[in-house]
Chain A
Amino acid sequence: MFQREKRRPRPSVRERLPLLKHLGDRARLAQVVRDTAFRVADNVTRALSAGLSLADVRALLRGEPLPEGREVVFTNAFFAHWRPRAYAQSASKFSNTFALGFLSVLTLFVQAITGIVLMLFYNPSADAAYASVWRIVAEIPFGQFVRDLHRLSADLLILFAALHLLRVYFAGAFKPPRQFTWVTGVLLLVLVLGSALTGSLLPYDQAAYWGVTWVTDALKAAPPREGIGVAFTRFVRGGDTVGAATLLRFYFAHIALLPALTLALLAAHYYRVARLHGISLPAGEEESPDPEVRAAAQARVDFLPGILTREWLWIAMAVCALTMLAAFGYHAPLGSAADATRAPSPATVSWYWLWLQGMRQDPIVLPLWRAWCDAFGVDALDWYDSAAWQGVLLPSALFLLLLGVPYLDEVWDRWRGHASSRLGHNRKLGVTLGLLGVAVFIWFTYLGTPMASAPVSRAAEIAQAFLPAECVPAPIPLLPADCGVARRLGYDGLPTGAYELEQFADVPPSASRFEVMLAQMYARLRRQTDLPDAKGFFIVADWQTDLKKITLRITWTPRAPDEVGVFERTMFLHRDSVD
C-alpha cells in the first residue's frame, strides 16, 4: 500500500465511484474502501504539508532519506519555504541560542491570537473601556483566561527578547556580517516595548492611567521644553492630559500600527537570520584552530524531521506551561477605574519601566555635578536640567548606542588592528562593558522600585504596606501584585471593632492572622523613630450590607506648630471582592 506513485491522470466518473462496480464482491469492496481512505488521507497530508505524501512522512519518521528531488518540492512550497531546508549541526544546539529568539516569536504569536480574541469584546472609549474589560473577565467564558494569557505572554515576550539581546551580545553574534540583523533586532525590541506601553493603557484602570501619565510625562522634558517637549507630549496624548483621545490613539497604535511594523521588521529579521546568514555557529567551534572541528561544525542537519519535531515539542511544552499558569496561578491585574482627580501614591509602573524611573532619580550625574559646583564655587546648578537629561536625552542616547553596537565594535577592532573575533577572550572590553551595563540596569531598576525611594512619611509607609490604595505590581515579572495584608485577610478575616495597636505588643502563638497583622503594624510603628509618641488605631466598621470600612489612624505629638499629628488611611472592603 505504501508505494510512491507517479501522478495519476484525472480519474473518470466510473473510477471515482468504484463502489458501484463492486457491490457484490465483499473482499474487493473492502479493498476499494481501504484504497479510497488511504488516498483521501494522502491527499490531505499533501495539502497540509505542501507536498509531503504519507509515505514521505513515514520515511522521515523512520529516518530514511527522501528520494532525490522530493525535498525541493517540499521546501519550495509556500509555508515551508519560510524555514531553511537545513541547519548547521552546531548552531542548532539548544545551548547555542537557548531558543530565546524562538520563544520570542512564539510569545509574539500568542499575543496575536489572544489579542484578536480580546479585540472582539474590548471597547476603546474612555467611558466604556474599563467596563468592557470587566465584561471580558466576568461574563465571557474563557475571557479571563485569554486576557491572562495576553498579559502573561506580553511580559514573557519582553523578558525573552531582552535575554535574546544579551545572548546575541555575549555570543558576539552581531559581528560581521550580521550587523544589520542586530539593528532590526533593537528596533523590534523598541516596537515590543511600544506595544507594551500602548497596551497597558487599554484596561483604563488606575494603574493604566497613571502609569501612562507617568511615562509620557517624561517626554515633556525634551528640550526645548516649550517648543518640542510639550508639543510632542500633546501629540502622543492627543491633549494636555491622558484621556479619551489618548485611549483612541493608543488603541490604534496597539492593534494596527505597531503590529504591522513589528510584522514587517520580524520578516526582515528572520529573513536575515534564516536565509541570508544562518544562525552563527558556537564561537569556539567556528574559530577553532583545529580544521576538523571547524569542518564538523559545518555539518548539516535537515529541517525535516528532527528540527521540526523538536520545535513541536517546545511549542507543546511552552503552550502547556502558559496555559497552566494562566489557569491556576497568574491573573492579570485590574484595579479601580481610572480617576483623573486621584493619583495613587507612590506611583508604580511595570517592571520593565523601573529602570527609567530609577534613571529619573538621577543617582549619578546630579551628585557629581553638585559636587563639582561646590568644589569650584560655581553657581551652575540651574544649567543642568535633570529631567531632560535623565528622562529623554540619555535614554535616547542609550538607544542610539545600542543600535550602533556592531558598528562601534567594528571600528574599534579596526582601530586596534584586531581581526574580528567572537571569542570571549578576544573581546574582553566588550564583555566587560556588557556585564557593567547589565549591573547598572539592575541597579537602576532597583532604584526605580518604591522600596528604594524615600516614603512621603513613615505613617504613609506603614499604611501602604497594610492598606494600599491600589495593588502594587511586583518589580519582578510574573510575580503577583501586592494588594496589602488587610485585603489578603479578606472580609471575614477582619472582625468589626476598634483596636489600639499597643495592646497587640506581644501576641500568643495561637493568635489569629488578624491579631498577627495588628502585631506587625505595632512592630513597624515602634521601630520607626521619626514620629514621637506614635500611637496606632485600627478600626473595622460595618459600613453597609456586606461592606466594611477599614481605617488605620496613626497619631503622634506634632513636631512643628503647623503639623497636625494625625494620619489616616481608609479602605472599603466588600465580602465578594477578594481575588
Chain B
Amino acid sequence: MSTRFQILVGLLFTLLTGVPLATIAVNDFGIVPSSEPMGLERRAAARRGREIEMGAETFARWCAGCHGVLGEGIPQVAPALARGDLLDGRRARAIGWTAGTDALIRHTIVAGRPIPSRPDLYAARMPAWGSEFGGALGAEQVNALVAFILNWRVAAPEVNAFPPLPPTVAATRVPALPPTPTPRVQVLPVCQMIPAPYAGAKAPFPSDDKAVLASGKQIYEARCAACHGNTGKGDGPAAAALNPKPANLTDKAFMRMLPVDCHLYVIAEGVKGTGMPPWKSLGNDALWKVLIYTRAFSGTP
C-alpha cells in the first residue's frame, strides 16, 4: 500500500468517526426535536425507572411487614405510606417540617422515629434503617425507597393515618383496672401479671403440625425477622438500632421463663416501652402459628 493511499484512507476513517460522534451530540444536546425522549433525557428516565424498581424490591423485603404490601398500612402496627397527605406535603407542614416531603421520608427511613409520634395508634416503632445508625440500608437503597414511595403520589388515597388527638380524650381516659394477679415463679417480669383473655390460654394447634409450622414460618419471616433475625437470634437488620435489643428466641433459659400464655400475651400486646410491637391485628390463629414456630427455635414446649 502506498503511503499516500494510507494517508487518504486514514483521513476517510477519521471523517467516518465523525458520524457516531455527531449522532451522540444530536441526541445528548437535543439538537433535533423529537417526540420520543432521546439521549440524556431518555437515560435519566431509565435511571429513575431502575431506582423505582429497586425501591419496590427493598420495600417488599423490609417494610411491607409493618406498612402493608401496597403501603396501605396495618392497623395498630404502622401507618399507611400510600396516602395523599404524606406525599403532597400536608403531613410535613402539619409537623412543622420545612425541608420538603422527599427529605422527610428519607430522614424517617434513615433515622427511624425513636420517639413514637402516636404510640396510642401505632405501638410498633419505626426502626432506624440507615447504615450510619446500624441499619441494613445503604444510601442507594434509601434513595430507591424514597423514589418508590413518592411514586405513589399520583394515585394515593386519602387516609387519615394520624387523626388529631381530641384534648379531652387524654384527660378522661380511665386507667385500665389492674388484672387479677396470678403469682408465678421464675418468669419474666412482664409475665407476672397476665390479663384476662391471655392468662392460661392453650394452643389450638398441635406443636408438630407441619402446615402450622410452615405458615408460622411465613408470618415470622414477613413480620418478625426484620428484628429477631431469620434464625430468631435477635440479630435482624433492624435490631442494631433498638434498645433494648430484640429477645433471643433461641435461648432456652429465656424461653423457659416465658410460658405459653405469656408468650401469646407479649406477641399480641407487644412490650410497652420497647421496640416490640403488638400484633393483635394478625388474628388469634396467626399469633398461635407464629408462636409455635418460634418456640421450635429453642425446642421449648
Which of chain B's residues 140-156 have a Cβ closer than 8 Å to chain A? 140-141, 143-144, 148, 151-155
Nearest 4 CB-CB pairings of A with B: A577-B49, A337-B140, A574-B49, A327-B20
Q: Are A310 and B50 in contact (CB under 8 A)?
A: no
Give the segment of B51-59, B166-174, B249-257 that binds chain A: B51-59
Q: Are A137 and B6 in contact (CB under 8 A)?
A: no
Q: Could you pull out 21 A-B pairs where Cβ atoms are within 8 angstroms?
A: A131-B139, A139-B44, A142-B25, A145-B24, A310-B1, A312-B7, A313-B10, A315-B10, A316-B13, A317-B13, A324-B19, A328-B20, A336-B54, A336-B57, A337-B144, A338-B138, A544-B56, A544-B151, A549-B56, A571-B53, A573-B53
Mask of A128-169 contacts with B, CB within 8 angstroms, 1/0:
101100100111011011000000000000000000000000
Main secondary structure of the interface of A (DSSP, over half): mixed
Kindly provide the distance from the CB of A384 to the nearest chain B CB, expressed in whole angstroms.
32
Is A372's CB within 8 Å of the partner chain B? no
Q: Are A545 and B17 in contact (CB under 8 A)?
A: no
Give the CA-CA distance A309 to B50 in the complex, in Å.
Answer: 47
Is B14's CB within 8 Å of the partner chain A? yes
Contact of B56 among A315, A328, A339, A572 (CB under 8 A): A572
11 additional A-B pairs beyond A571-B53, A572-B57, beta carbons within 8 Å, are A130-B140, A137-B47, A138-B43, A319-B14, A323-B17, A324-B20, A338-B140, A561-B210, A574-B50, A576-B48, A577-B52
Kindly provide the distance from the CB of B281 to the nearest chain A CB, expressed in whole angstroms.
24
Contact of A337 among B49, B141, B237 (CB under 8 A): B141
Give the CA-CA distance A260 to B7 in the complex, in Å.
Answer: 34
Q: Give the chain B neighbours of A61 by CB distance below 8 A.
A: 3-4, 7
Give the CA-CA distance A571 to B49 in the complex, in Å.
Answer: 13
Which of chain A's residues 534-579 have a Cβ closer than 8 Å to chain B? 543-547, 549, 561-562, 564, 570-579
Is B269's CB within 8 Å of the partner chain A? no
Q: Give the chain A neighbours of B46 by CB distance below 8 A.
A: 138, 576-579
Q: Are B214 and A309 in contact (CB under 8 A)?
A: no
Known A-B contacts A327-B20, A574-B49; the reply to A313 vs B9 at CB < 8 A is yes
Q: Are B23 and A320 in contact (CB under 8 A)?
A: no
Q: Give the chain A neighbours of B6 by CB distance below 8 A.
A: 309-310, 312-313
Q: Give the chain B neighbours of A65 by CB distance below 8 A.
A: none
Give the CA-CA distance A262 to B68 in the complex, in Å.
Answer: 55
Kindly provide the distance from the CB of A125 to the nearest chain B CB, expressed in whole angstroms.
9
Q: Give the chain B neighbours of A549 by CB distance below 8 A.
A: 56
Mask of A321-340 contacts with B, CB within 8 angstroms, 1/0:
00110111000000011111
Known A-B contacts A130-B140, A327-B20; the reply to A574 vs B40 at CB < 8 A is no
Q: Give the chain A neighbours of B53 by CB distance below 8 A.
A: 336, 547, 571-574, 577
Q: Are A316 and B11 in contact (CB under 8 A)?
A: yes
Q: Are B139 and A127 in contact (CB under 8 A)?
A: yes
Report the interface size for chain B: residues with CB under 8 A from the other chain.
Answer: 53
> Closest chain B residue to A340 by CB distance?
B138
Give the CA-CA distance A546 to B51 in the complex, in Å.
Answer: 13
Q: Are A544 and B49 in contact (CB under 8 A)?
A: no
Kindly provide the distance from the CB of B261 to the nearest chain A CB, expressed in whole angstroms.
29
Q: Are A141 and B28 in contact (CB under 8 A)?
A: yes
Contact of B14 among A137, A305, A320, A341 (CB under 8 A): A320
Range, interface on chain A: 35 or more
Q: Are B214 and A547 in contact (CB under 8 A)?
A: no
Give the CA-CA distance A319 to B45 in the complex, in Å.
Answer: 30
Known A-B contacts A312-B10, A327-B20, A577-B49; the reply to A543 vs B43 at CB < 8 A is no
Q: Give the chain B neighbours of A340 by CB distance below 8 A.
A: 138
Which of chain A's residues 205-241 have a Cβ closer than 8 Å to chain B? none
Give the CA-CA distance A549 to B148 in the complex, in Å.
Answer: 13
Q: Are A141 and B40 in contact (CB under 8 A)?
A: yes
Is B60's CB within 8 Å of the partner chain A? yes
Among A138, A544, A561, the one with the most B-chain Cβ atoms within 10 Å of its Cβ is A544
Give the CA-CA distance A126 to B13 in the complex, in Å.
Answer: 41
Q: Give the chain A neighbours of B7 by CB distance below 8 A.
A: 61, 309, 312-313
> Closest chain B residue to A129 by CB distance?
B140
Give the CA-CA distance A498 to B12 in the complex, in Å.
Answer: 56
Q: Give the chain A neighbours of B17 by CB distance below 8 A.
A: 316, 319-320, 323-324
Kindly provide the distance from the CB of B45 to the nearest chain A CB, expressed in whole angstroms.
4
Q: Are A577 and B50 in contact (CB under 8 A)?
A: yes
Q: Give the chain B neighbours of A562 by CB distance below 8 A.
A: 210
Give the CA-CA distance A119 to B138 in the complex, in Å.
Answer: 23
Q: Give the chain B neighbours of A561 by CB distance below 8 A.
A: 210
Q: Give the chain B neighbours of A543 by CB distance below 8 A.
A: 56, 70
Q: Give the chain A neighbours of B1 by CB distance below 8 A.
A: 310
Q: Give the chain A neighbours of B3 by CB distance below 8 A.
A: 60-61, 63, 305-306, 309
